[in-house]
Amino acid sequence: MPSSLSGSAGAATVRAAEECTAPADCPGCTSAPLPVLGRDVRVPLVTGGEVGYAALDYAASAPALQRVWDDIAAYAPYYGSVHRGAGYLSQLSTDLFEQSRETVAGFLGCRPDDELIFTRSTTDSLNLLAAALPAGTRIYVFDTEHHAALLPWQRAEDARVEYLPAPRTPEQAVASLDVALHGAPKGPKLVCVTGASNVTGEIWPVRELAAAAHRHGARIVLDAAQLAPHRPVDVTALDVDWVAFSGHKLYAPFGAGVLAGRADWLRDAEPYLAGGGATRKVARSGDELLVEWNSGTARHEAGSPNVIGAYAIASACKALTEAGFDSLVTRERELLDRLRDGLADLPEVRVLSLFGAGSARVGVLSFVVQGWNSSHLAAALSAEYGIGVRDGLFCAHPLVRTLLDTEPDEPGECGAPDAAPGERSLNAVRVSFGAGTPEEHVDRFLGAVRTLVREGAAWRYRTEGGRCVPVR
Ligand SMILES: Cc1ncc(COP(=O)(O)O)c(C=O)c1O
């Protein structure tokens, strides 16, 4: 057993990440604050040869931190069942799982009575909360949200959802929520809000929205899927009732997510999934099963827990904390300025923004280019420059349509199915980065966009299955 895990899982410590070496053709590639996997992966170019892959789609899924990978690799031989085994490795794995819960709760600044449930993702976390709402809860949500935060509430029993229109400033968001809640009838109310937009990267006024919610007796859940990888999220300081995020956006891509916050609604709700682990006692009485459900986190964690996923998130939380958000944020701002300044030099490029050019953002930015179909641009960035970005409506269709000013019934599905290369774009390109991004990737991206916009693509593309692909 490695010393890092010896004694008990509680003694698990973090090993130093391996020495980070720069690939030969990219001397600047070690300039990122935290080493991630994949920095030396090379991909073929349609124009011939190959190049180091520039992952600029962190907002979809960030690469694993080297440190997370090392921690998981060190633990993997000791992997065992959680909460259901008498063997040493089961005990160790159970310890590690519960210790991970504490680490993540600490990272999130949870209150002593909060519960932290390991889920599969942000989507899963918000669906879990939706399933736990008291009957008749009124939900208030801006129509700018990611679908994961927009859609689960419709399913809640007796729920009434009020969709608030896209605000144009952070202050307008708070005022609009205030007005909506002011006229709200008595009874349970929940506000769901994003911390940072997955489309514009803009940071929402979470603390102020939480204050508005609480002023009117409502609770608030924070979708921190995009905020947590970039900024400290402290539920106590922000005074939010719940927070949800995904491991795979926080450099921990092992299939786990988190819902953390107030215990009462979760305690009173039916278990999210019915099955082993959620039950204290099951007995048969004639044609019926008499079930005593567990309380606490076990109530909503039926099935064998994902200990690797939970440990990976805990490891990422430790790595981010040790690196220090102050320096990560400073460095991210520098990269963002570089990106925005570079795009501002191209009059054909329009950066999408809800709150205006000066608003605070994380490292996520979407844009359209006059005369370019976004799917075409994204395909050319990949095929000719080895740069991975995303194009589409980013699972936030109402928001992107608002920002692009297109009618809701115009075609605009991801990849703009009917648009040939060069047609007007009904969707956008998103570039996103994080603690593993070297400056070289941002510079290569800017150079590539400049060349594509000024000189056009070097290759021919066609639409296939709704996406632009290189003609081969
Ligand atoms: C703001 C936001 N919320 C929720 C989600 C859903 O996350 P997941 O797909 O991990 O469930 C995403 C994913 O892109 C997101 O960006």
User: How confident is the model at residue 24, as a pLDDT?
Assistant: 52
DSSP 73-134: HHHGGG---SSS--SHHHHHHHHHHHHHHHHHHHHTT--TT-EEEEESSHHHHHHHHHHTSP
> Tokens 């008291």 correspond to what residue?
134
Which residue type sits at 328? L
Q: Which two tokens stand for residue 177?
A: 């929520």
Burial 294-303 (b: 16+ CB within 10 A, else e): beebbbbbbe
Distance of CA 104 to the CA centre of its chain: 16
Question: In angstroms, rounded to a whole number, what is the distance separating the alpha carbons of residues 314 and 152?
Answer: 27
d(CA 430, CA 17): 30
Mutate to test the pocket of ligand 1, among 118, 124, 395, 432 (most ligand atoms within 8 A of CB): 395
Residue 408 pLDDT: 52
192, 395, 414, 468: the active-site residue: 395
What's the first-to-final CA gap in the chain, in angstroms? 51
Distance, in Å, from the CA atom of 78 to the CA atom of 97, rounded to the nearest integer, reads 13
CA of 362 to the centre of ligand 1 (A): 15
Note whether 209 and 91 are within 8 A (CB).
no
**At CB < 8 A and 24+ separation, what contacts does 129-132 make?**
129/190, 129/221, 129/242, 129/244, 129/259, 129/265, 129/266, 130/155, 130/156, 130/159, 131/155, 131/156, 131/269, 131/270, 131/272, 132/265, 132/266, 132/268, 132/269, 132/272, 132/300
471 alpha carbon to ligand 1 midpoint, in Å?
Answer: 32
245 CA to centre of ligand 1 in angstroms: 8
- What 3-state DSSP class applies to 140? strand
Q: How many CB atoms lie within 10 A of CB 2?
A: 13
Measured distance CA(382)–CA(390) in Å, rounded: 10
Is 110 known to be catalytic? no
State in Å: Cα 405 to ligand 1 middle: 23
> Which two three-digit tokens encode residue 407?
């009618």
d(CA 236, CA 223): 15
For residue 144, how many other CB atoms are within 10 A of its CB? 27
Contact 386, 50 (CB under 8 A): yes
So what's the pLDDT on residue 26? 54
Which tokens hold the place of 409? 């019934």
Helices (H) and strands (E) in the chain — how many of each?
A: 13, 19
- What is the pLDDT, as a whole number, of residue 23? 53
Ligand 1 pocket at CB < 6 A: 121-123, 146, 148-149, 194, 198, 223, 225-226, 246, 248
- Ligand 1 pocket test, pick from 246, 258, 259, 365 with the greatest ligand atom count within 8 Å of Cβ, gives 246
Contact (Cβ atoms closer than 8 angstroms) between residue 435 and residue 251: yes
Q: Residue 286: how many CB atoms within 10 A of its CB?
A: 6
Q: Report the predicted TM-score, pTM, of the whole model to 2 decimal places.
A: 0.92
Task: Look at ligand 1, atom 7, and give the residue with the nearest C-alpha.
Answer: 122
Q: Which atom of ligand 1 is nearest to the CA of 123?
A: 11
Eight-state DSSP code of residue 430: E
Q: Are 68 and 34 in contact (CB under 8 A)?
A: no
Q: How confident is the prediction along the chain (472 residues), in pLDDT tens digits per residue?
A: 344 453 333 333 333 334 444 555 554 455 789 999 999 999 999 999 999 999 999 999 999 999 999 999 999 999 999 999 999 999 999 999 999 999 999 999 999 999 999 999 999 999 999 999 999 999 999 999 999 999 999 888 788 999 999 999 999 999 999 999 998 999 999 999 999 999 999 999 999 999 999 999 999 999 999 999 999 999 999 999 999 999 999 999 999 999 999 999 999 999 999 999 999 999 999 999 999 999 999 999 999 999 999 999 999 999 999 999 999 999 999 999 999 999 999 999 999 999 998 899 999 999 999 888 888 999 999 999 999 999 988 999 999 988 988 765 554 443 444 455 555 566 899 999 999 999 999 999 999 999 999 999 999 998 887 788 999 8
pLDDT of residue 67: 98
Q: Distance between CA 40 and CA 25 in Å, rounded?
A: 10
Tokens of 288: 């019926």
